Amino acid sequence: MKVFIPTPLRSYCGERHEVEASGATLAEALADLDRRYPGIRFRMIDEQDGIRRHMRIFVNGREVRALDVPLGTSDEVMILQALSGG
């Protein structure tokens, strides 16, 4: 499946804005992403499997709040950041 990568995380994947990952759930896809691009997962998912504050993950345009969402091979995962602060 295609995964859209936001600018703050592109240093992990050769500055690409879109990469491939596979998995039957979002958790598996993120684990695969981390295998391909080590370290990327922990910057957006904390050690309790929570999506970090300001991180937003969308599957086919719908926001998801947990990692157990099932995925198909044609699904599109979009990772975004809702920036705030100064």
Partner 1 sequence: MTIKTRKETISTAAASGGVALLVATRKGAFIFKTDKARSAWKISGPMFFGHVVSHMLLDPRDRRTLLAGARTGHLGPTVFRSSDFGKSWKEAAKPPAFPKAPEGQKGRVVDHVFWLSPGHPSEPAVWYAGTSPQGLFRSEDGGDTWAPVSGFNDHRMYSQWTGGEKDGTPDGPKLHSILVDPRDARHLYIGMSSGGVFESLDKGAGWKPLNSGCRVDFLPDPFPEYGHDPHCVKLHPLAPEVLYQQNHCGIYRMQRPEGNWVRIGTSMPKTVGDIGFPIVLHPRDPDTVWVFPMDGSSVWPRTSPQGKPAAYVTRNAGRTWQRQDTGLPRSQGWLTVKRQAMSADAHQPVGIYFGTTGGEIWASKNEGRNWACIARHLPEIYAVEATELGR
- Tell me: does residue 65 bind partner 1 (CB under 8 A): no
CA distance 74 to 2: 8
- Tell me: does residue 38 bind partner 1 (CB under 8 A): yes
- Tell me: does residue 53 bind partner 1 (CB under 8 A): yes
Alpha-carbon torsion (25, 31, 42, 4), positive or negative: negative
Toward partner 1, which CB reaches closer, 72 or 85?
85
Q: Which stretch binds partner 1 (CB under 8 A): 13-21, 23-31, 38-46, 57-65?
A: 38-46
DSSP letter for each residue of 2-13: EEE--GGGGGGG
**Which of these, 80, 85, 73, 60, lies nearest to 21 by C-alpha position?**
73
Shortest spacing between CB 19 and partner 1, in angstroms: 17
- Binding residues for partner 1 (CB under 8 A): 8-9, 38-39, 42-50, 52-55, 81, 83-85
